[in-house]
Amino acid sequence: MENIGKIMSLYVHIPFCVRKCNYCDFLSSPASEEMKEQYVQALIHEMEEKREIYQAYQVESVFIGGGTPSTLSTEQMSRLLGTMQNCYRILRDAEFTVEINPGTVDREKLVAYKTHGVNRLSIGLQSADDGELCRLGRIHTFDEFMETFQTARELGYENINIDLMSGLPGQSRESYRQTLEKVLALKPEHLSAYSLIVEEGTPFWDLYGEGSQENGSGERNIHTEEKPDTEESHDLSLPDEDTDRMMYEDTDRILAEQGYHRYEISNYARTGYESRHNTGYWKRHNYLGLGLGSSSLIDNCRWKNESVLAAYVNQNGICEKKEQETLTTQEQMEEFMFLGLRLMRGISYQEFDNYFHRPIMEVYAAPIQKGIAEGLLMEVEEGGETCLRLTKRGIDVSNVVMSDFLF
């Protein structure tokens, strides 16, 4: 890597999708072609206006996320990527990711991304079962995903992530294992595996959230009066807790057997293909968010962009910072702990001491000793350093463990 001073990552938000999925609570929605173009123009203006402010930083990773960035036309994305490269000092070896969804991307788009420096793709598959995809409200089939993946390989993309979900309506342990097997046969470099979370404000919340009906076994059943737009209506209950747990354990075991190491609670990679962008979040590196509703953390100052699309476009991408705050040392320590514990490597005592100029045990002796005594945390000597990390049992209740580090 080049010899640099300050570094940061770039996140660029594209808030558009073809159709909102039934589980999605992200800042995204369908939009007209006119609105997409207005947004692209506003985003380009934001990039250009902030260029001088961040000239002291060099960019170690770029992530174009959404929504579905691949809903933009080839020409629109080319303008965005070209502007970004002209405005920011992106390192030659930077990780450069674009999120894509099957059904919204073709060979022409993939060629354009590669021409503009994109070297990593993140494909939203979720499931290899077409029935499960339909229930989720996805717009693609597994065959369409396969076509997208194979085209990307043919074009020379050598770093591809695939997103998967478990605990889906009507999903069985066997159908999930089949998804894992089909995906692993493709030998992707990286996998992100999440369990479905039913978020308030989504169609799934009305079906499975608080107030939803439960059957005698405790499984949450779909309401009869309101159903997602699916082709199937039989047994759309969520897997029970035991099945969900087995899916979780299958993920960890099967991926390990196939050479993927778990480096973060929900992320697995072949050696050398860990996401540099996401790891930067967990390690509290600087990151600048561009676009609607994006978040930034620069030199311990945090803020969010405007989250109302009309306001962002009307102000041509230059909006007042929202929820701006400068983190106190205490808040920085808390983030260092609960974000760092998401990584399987854990937290280096030496890195804490160097960063905060205080021994970690002077600050966190009580929760560390408590976690170790309860079998949720462990100390490991690695590379001449002492690291604190979650045990297998601790990973299962990670939110509880991390809450102990909040003052």
pLDDT of 16-75, one tens digit each?
A: 998 888 888 888 889 999 999 999 999 999 999 999 999 999 999 999 999 999 999 999
**Count of structural domains, the chain:** 2
Query: Tell me, what's the pLDDT at 382?
Result: 86
Question: In terms of domains, do 337 and 267 share one?
Answer: no
Between the alpha carbon of residue 384 and those of residues 28, 29, 95, 380, 381, the distances in Å are 46, 49, 29, 10, 6
CATH number at residue 269: 3.80.30.20
Residue 218 has pLDDT above 60, yes or no: no
Least confident of 197-201, 295-299, 334-338: 197-201
pTM of the model: 0.91
Is the predicted pLDDT of residue 159 greater than 70, yes or no? yes
Domain-located, residue 291: no
Nearest residue to 309 via CA among 70, 24, 40, 49: 40
Residue 303 lies in a domain: no
Residues 232 and 354 in one domain: no
Residue 183, token pair as written in the block: 């995906």
The SS3 assignment for 128 reads coil
pLDDT of 263 over the 80 cut: yes
**For residue 224, pLDDT beyond 60:** no
Q: Which pLDDT belongs to residue 5?
A: 62
Q: Where residue 381 sits, what CATH number does that domain have? A: 1.10.10.10
- pLDDT band of 231, cuts 50, 70, 90: very low
Would the pLDDT of 116 be above 90? yes
Residue 341 and residue 329: Cα distance in Å, rounded?
18
pLDDT band at 208 (very low <50, low <70, confident <90, very high): confident
Give residue 67's domain range: 6-282
* 73 dihedral zone (left: phi>0; alpha: psi -120 to 50; beta): beta
Confidence (pLDDT) at 405 = 95
For every residue of 151-181, DSSP letters joined together read HHHHTT---EEEEEEES-TT--HHHHHHHHH
Indicate whether 119 pLDDT > 80: yes
Whether 344 and 258 share a structural domain: no
Of the chain, the end-to-end C-alpha distance in Å amounts to 38
pLDDT value, residue 235: 58
233, 345: one domain: no
Cα–Cα distance measured from residue 233 to residue 228, given in angstroms and rounded to the nearest whole number:
9
Radius of gyration, CA atoms only, the chain: 22
Quick one: 340 and 200 in the same domain?
no
